[in-house]
Amino acid sequence: MRRLIGFPCGNETLVGTIDEAAGSTGLLIVSGGNEIRSGAHRGMALLAARVAAELGAPVLRYDRRGVGDSTGLNSGYEGSGPDIAAAAATFRTEVPQLTRILAFGNCDAATALALFHEHAGIDALLLANPWVTEEHDALPPAAAIRARYAERVKDPRQWARLFRGEVDFSKLFRGLSKITETRSQHGTDVSERLATAMADAEIPVTILTAARDNTAVAFREAWETPTFAPARERAKITARDTASHSFAGEEDKAWLFAKIDQALSDLNRR
């Protein structure tokens, strides 16, 4: 059964949805960006229903302050620590048999969970395509631009396009400028904080990436730097060969569901 709940976060009210099930290990889904709890194309709502029905795990999704049905000011993922803590506490209250919580988030929700899970009573993290950049322009992350240019340099068709004058040079120069400005940076403040949080985590951390997604490309580049060396010793990472940031294709959905199933099973065995 699915039911709607409201619960406090400071002086504001968050609205959430619980998909009920009998299991004692639950899944907390944290939305990324300014996305509402149902997810793009209702993806998170469908995922929650399937997890509850097929895996027997209760699921809570919610809108953080200032997003969707919840009241308050939207302060972005950087200000979402209290929302995560309030949701986890409410999950335990609303589902009395709950003894363990697996938290799942994509993009900046993954980063928020890594940064703020410590005081939320969460028992394991499943993080998809964590956000590591502070870049705010309309271009993809510098790491994704580098990866794309590296592929094109090897493609004879792209050289033919260049010689025929079919290349947008203004876009090319903007991309090259971004690479030049950021190439020497081994990590932004966000990535350094994320690396520290992952290395210091006292609970299991599993990372999922969509290998050809721009956000994932930026994360994988950061992941291989010395900054993340301590985190690499603690966290598990696996990639899906897809460009879908939210694992939206049918095969991608099945892969994500299998990873959630595995993470819930691992947590049940602890």
From 139, 164, 126, select the one nearest 30 (Cα to Cα).
126
pLDDT 10s digits, 121-130:
999 999 999 9
Number of other residues whose CB lies within 10 A of the CB of residue 189:
8
261 Cβ contact list (under 8 Å, min separation 6):
55
Share of the chain above pLDDT 90, in %: 78
What is the architecture of the domain spanning 2-132+187-268?
A: 3-Layer(aba) Sandwich (3.40)
Mean pLDDT of 181-191: 63
**Can you give the pLDDT at residue 188?**
75
Q: What pTM was estimated for this model as a whole?
A: 0.83
pLDDT 10s digits, 152-172:
445 465 545 545 555 554 554
Give per-residue burial for 110-149: e unless 16+ CB within 10 Å, then b: bbbbbbbbeebebbbbbbbbbbbbebeeeebbbbbbbbee
Separation between Cα atoms, residue 104 and residue 30, nearest integer Å: 6
**Can you give the pLDDT at residue 160?**
54
Domain ranges of the chain: 2-132+187-268, 142-181
Mean pLDDT of 215-239: 96
**Can you give the pLDDT at residue 134?**
77
Beginning with the edge strand found earlier in the chain, give each strand of the sheet holding 236-240 in spatial order.
2-9, 12-19, 59-62, 25-30, 100-106, 124-128, 205-210, 236-240
pLDDT band at 270 (very low <50, low <70, confident <90, very high): confident
**Can you give the pLDDT at residue 149?**
43
Residue 116 has phi, psi (to 5 degrees) of -120, 10
8 Cβ contact list (under 8 Å, min separation 6):
14, 86
Separation between Cα atoms, residue 204 and residue 101, nearest integer Å: 12
Separation between Cα atoms, residue 114 and residue 128, nearest integer Å: 11
Q: In this model, does residue 151 exceed pLDDT 80?
A: no
Separation between Cα atoms, residue 72 and residue 82, nearest integer Å: 12
**What mean pLDDT value characterizes the chain?**
88
Residue 214 has phi, psi (to 5 degrees) of -60, -45
Q: In this model, does residue 177 exceed pLDDT 60?
A: no
Report which secondary-structure segment, H or E, holds 12: strand 12-19
